[in-house]
């Protein structure tokens, strides 16, 4: 693993989490850098989302401060003030304007941030900033909530002998407190980019990765994916094919990272990939893949190792996409269960074992109306998911 | 209870269900009657759905045959033939054309009907047809699958001293075999109606009742609601206000029956009603109510007695409706939790107890953009739901 040049990281415990675990991270750049962002579409959203949206894309980024344990969402005017104060505080330490600082937040919603702890946490994190791997790891831990482990991904490649490094971290979609899921991801590279190109690369990579995952389909108030580029690599990215290559590599990094989120979904025992082909449009294929992914009946079938083509095919039927019922074909983990609108003979114990014995289940659904295709990754639905999310003590 | 005049009922066990329980019902009329129907929007649908849709609305209805234990869905050409054979067989016994017979089917999908058993079941049911209450009860049992109990509703009213009787039965949305949910309902009345008026009354009543319920939001291949009217009541329905009155009474009957379905949802410990007001349009309010109802995080919060306004408000935020985040207000069982976009002080133990101690939970959500309103009933999501739907043995 080689971390991209020009970054510094820190992750500290400042007391937001009652557990005493790391809960504040800073990712800074040695010099003003490029920053792009994509954000939750939720109308109900955290102060940090609006704050960052005003900044990106830009070429004056200096640092990102991320706290976990408290999402600072639905907290009204005081929440907006606290968010601003976090940026101001980081800026003060780094001798820069709050307008050059991004803020991300994840955790319980509707509760005001403990600003005394956050302020001293920021001071401690700024002191701890370093380009070393262990600092990167500390930051990746400090952004998690109920994640089983930190989620990171790295990729390095060459352009005419010059290395380009990509590193990324994410958290989610474990449920938070007894509250809700948030997905945060930060992608860092030393590739030389303009703000416009960075935003376009991030939009493409996000559409192929984080926009194709779900746990239970509940959209958070705080979801954000940021791309930061220092330009410290001497590599020249002066042609469309080279930009396309970088876009593909950043997409791959994001896909690798994105799949780790439903894999670590609360109580998950399977990562399910739904691949839809033959739809009228890609948008229709997306709709079908999401509808299948969001069906509690499909999820519980996979949990139980049940090769239940009926639940899958009928979910496709109500997705609101134009499909040909007589042309639907379905494979689970390579086994054909349904063809041209009819069930086919198959060995139920064999297909059941193919689901039960593997962590990953692939559902391939062809719907026979065109050449549109899309995929989606989701987790299954288990007793542990329900237990975790219905536990509540006043 | 007074059953509507002009109907006969039978419910028998013919061997479709391995349990040996009642699995075939016939509802017939003494003379040609009015029949209306509304059906699943699923593109993947059972033969019975297309068959009935060709018949309704009409004035030549004679009988409805309903089997449970096998949905005769996704069964190809043989399934279509078997569906037709059921209608032909009933018609033969009642000396009428198959075009005057409706068919409904619920149970496991993708398996051919055992036609020998069905055929002898039809013969037995025709012999058992009677207008008595016990026959009505037998029919209401024979349409159920994993329902805890049969679901019926009755209402009688007067027009100038002449009685109009409404009786209805439904099944669902317990999960079937290890397969899927189906919702079936039949509404019977002796009111004198034309086919067009019957269809219009049913459309209105259905929109207020069965279209506003869900368990996990998975749309079945076999859902159907039928309205049968014999016209045997001497009551005169010769004015718009009288039709409106009947429409209201049939709607009330359907609402009463519809609420019993999520109440009996697999593993359900709560019936949740979501009432959305202040949306831009009724359609927007419907979208918000459904999105809140379909959120696994909202459902599990209610399961756990968690007054989690964050999950509810954030679900409203991604419903795809135009809402004003700063104007949202929320009450649970009458307790105000959120007002004008801000959380308010409330006693968490008190609200938690108000959820935990009652079977019904009411979520009132005002979204501040207009006068659109809608409601939706759903069940909560429990460990037992997941256990039931992930149990599978090859």
**Please, what's the b/e burial string for B48-82 (b: 16 or more CB within 10 A of its CB; e: otherwise)?**
bbebbeebbbbeebbbbbbbbbbbbbbbeeebbeb
Helix (H) or strand (E) holding B104: strand B101-108
CA-based end-to-end distance of chain B: 45
Judge: A318–B110 Cβ closer than 8 Å, yes or no.
Answer: no
Q: Search chain A and give the residue with CA nearest B222.
A: A314
Neighbours of B349 (CB within 10 A): 12
To the nearest whole Å, the CA of B177 is away from the closest chain A CA by 11
Q: Is the pTM of this model over 0.80?
A: yes
Q: In what order do the strands lie in the sheet with B271-279?
A: B213-214, B372-379, B271-279, B360-366, B329-332, B335-339, B342-343
Instruction: Phi first, then psi: give them for residue A335, nearest 5 degrees.
Output: -90, 125
Q: Search chain A and give the residue with CA nearest B356.
A: A392
pLDDT per residue of chain B (394 residues) written in tens, 0 to 9: 899 999 999 999 999 999 999 999 999 999 999 999 999 888 888 899 999 999 999 999 999 999 999 999 888 889 999 999 999 999 999 999 999 999 999 988 888 999 999 999 999 999 999 999 999 999 999 999 878 889 999 999 999 899 999 999 998 865 433 334 567 889 999 999 999 999 999 999 999 988 888 877 777 778 888 999 999 999 999 999 999 999 999 999 999 988 988 888 888 999 999 999 999 999 999 999 999 998 988 999 999 999 999 899 988 988 989 999 899 999 999 999 999 998 899 999 999 999 999 999 999 999 999 999 999 999 999 999 899 888 876 6
Mutation target for A interface from B183, B317, B328, B384: give the one with most A CBs within 10 A. Answer: B317
Q: Search chain B and give the residue with CA nearest A355.
A: B392
Helix (H) or strand (E) holding B137: helix B133-142
**Chain B residues close to A328, C-beta within 8 Å:** 44
Out of A76, A315, A385, the one facing B342 most closely (by C-beta) is A76
Judge: B296–A74 Cβ closer than 8 Å, yes or no.
Answer: no
- A255 closest CA partner among A175, A163, A185, A332: A185
Query: Coil, helix or strand for A129?
Result: coil
Q: Are B355 and B302 in contact (CB under 8 A)?
A: yes
Out of B218, B305, B390, the one facing A315 most closely (by C-beta) is B218
CA distance B63 to B54: 15
Residue A164's contacts (CB-CB under 8 Å, 6 or more residues apart) are A156, A157, A158, A189, A190, A191, A233, A235, A246, A249
- B23 closest CA partner among B71, B62, B56: B71
Query: Coil, helix or strand for B49?
Result: helix
Q: Are B210 and B254 in contact (CB under 8 A)?
A: yes
**Chain B residues close to A43, C-beta within 8 Å:** 316-318, 323, 325
Residue A109's contacts (CB-CB under 8 Å, 6 or more residues apart) are A46, A71, A73, A74, A75, A179, A180, A221, A222, B310, B314
Judge: A44–B313 Cβ closer than 8 Å, yes or no.
Answer: yes
Query: Coil, helix or strand for A70?
Result: strand
Tokens of A188: 């860092």
Q: Could you give the residue numbers annotated as active site of B?
A: 182
**Chain A residues close to B317, C-beta within 8 Å:** 42-45, 219, 221
ipTM: 0.85
Which CATH fold would you assign to the domain A271-390? Ubiquitin-like (UB roll) (3.10.20)
List where CATH 3.10.20.340 sits in chain B: 271-390
Instruction: Phi first, then psi: give them for residue B171, nearest 5 degrees.
Output: -135, 160
Helix (H) or strand (E) holding B61: strand B58-70
Give per-residue pLDDT as tens, A366-377: 999 999 999 999
**B7-263: CATH number:** 3.60.70.12
Out of B181, B315, B392, the one facing A218 most closely (by C-beta) is B315
Q: What is the 3-state secondary structure (H, E, C) of B330-358?
A: EEECCEEEEECCEECCCCHHHHHHHHHCC
Instruction: Phi first, then psi: give them for residue B95, nearest 5 degrees.
Output: 60, 50
List where CATH 3.60.70.12 sits in chain A: 7-263
pLDDT per residue of chain A (394 residues) written in tens, 0 to 9: 899 999 999 999 999 999 999 999 999 999 999 999 999 888 888 899 999 999 999 999 999 999 999 999 888 889 999 999 999 999 999 999 999 999 999 988 888 999 999 999 999 999 999 999 999 999 999 999 878 889 999 999 999 999 999 999 998 865 433 334 567 889 999 999 999 999 999 999 998 988 888 877 777 778 888 999 999 999 999 999 999 999 999 999 999 988 988 888 888 999 999 999 999 999 999 999 999 998 988 999 999 999 999 899 988 988 989 999 899 999 999 999 999 998 899 999 999 999 999 999 999 999 999 999 999 999 999 999 899 888 876 6
**Chain B residues close to A288, C-beta within 8 Å:** none
**Chain A residues close to B43, C-beta within 8 Å:** 316-318, 323, 325
Neighbours of B113 (CB within 10 A): 25
């Amino acid at each position: 693993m080689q971390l991209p040049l020009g970054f510094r990281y820190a992750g500290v415990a400042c007391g937001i989490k009652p557990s005493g675990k790391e809960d504040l991270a800073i990712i800074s750049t040695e010099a003003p850098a490029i920053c792009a962002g994509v954000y939750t579409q939720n109308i109900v959203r955290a102060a940090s989302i609006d704050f960052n949206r005003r900044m990106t894309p830009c070429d004056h980024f200096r640092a990102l401060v991320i706290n976990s344990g408290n999402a600072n969402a639905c907290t009204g005017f005081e929440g907006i003030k606290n968010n601003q104060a976090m940026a101001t505080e980081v800026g003060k330490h780094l001798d820069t304007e709050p307008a050059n600082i991004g803020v991300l937040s994840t955790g319980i919603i509707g509760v005001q941030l403990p600003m005394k702890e956050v302020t001293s946490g920021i001071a401690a994190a700024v002191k701890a900033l370093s380009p070393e791997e262990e600092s990167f790891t500390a930051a990746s831990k400090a952004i998690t909530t109920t994640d089983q482990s930190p989620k990171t991904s790295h990729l390095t490649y060459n352009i005419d002998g010059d290395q380009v490094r990509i590193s990324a971290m994410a958290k989610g979609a474990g449920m938070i407190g007894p509250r809700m899921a948030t997905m945060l991801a930060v992608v860092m590279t030393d590739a030389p980019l303009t703000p416009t190109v960075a935003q376009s690369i991030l939009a493409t990579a996000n559409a192929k990765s984080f926009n194709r995952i779900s746990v239970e389909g509940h959209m958070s108030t705080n979801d954000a994916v940021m791309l930061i580029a220092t330009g410290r690599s001497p590599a020249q990215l002066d042609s469309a094919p080279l930009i396309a290559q970088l876009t593909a590599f950043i997409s791959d990094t994001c896909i690798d990272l994105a799949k780790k989120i439903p894999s670590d979904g609360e109580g998950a025992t399977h990562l399910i990939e739904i691949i839809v082909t033959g739809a009228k449009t890609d948008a229709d294929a997306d709709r079908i893949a999401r509808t299948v992914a969001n069906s509690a009946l499909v999820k519980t079938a996979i949990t139980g190792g049940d090769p239940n083509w009926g639940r899958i095919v009928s979910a496709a039927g109500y997705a609101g996409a134009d499909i040909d019922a007589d042309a639907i074909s379905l494979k689970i983990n390579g086994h054909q269960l349904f063809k041209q609108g009819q069930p086919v003979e198959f060995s139920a114990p064999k297909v059941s074992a193919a689901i039960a014995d593997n962590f990953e289940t692939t559902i391939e659904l062809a719907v026979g109306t065109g050449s549109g295709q899309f995929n989606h990754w989701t987790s299954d639905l288990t007793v542990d998911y329900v237990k975790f999310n219905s536990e509540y003590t006043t």
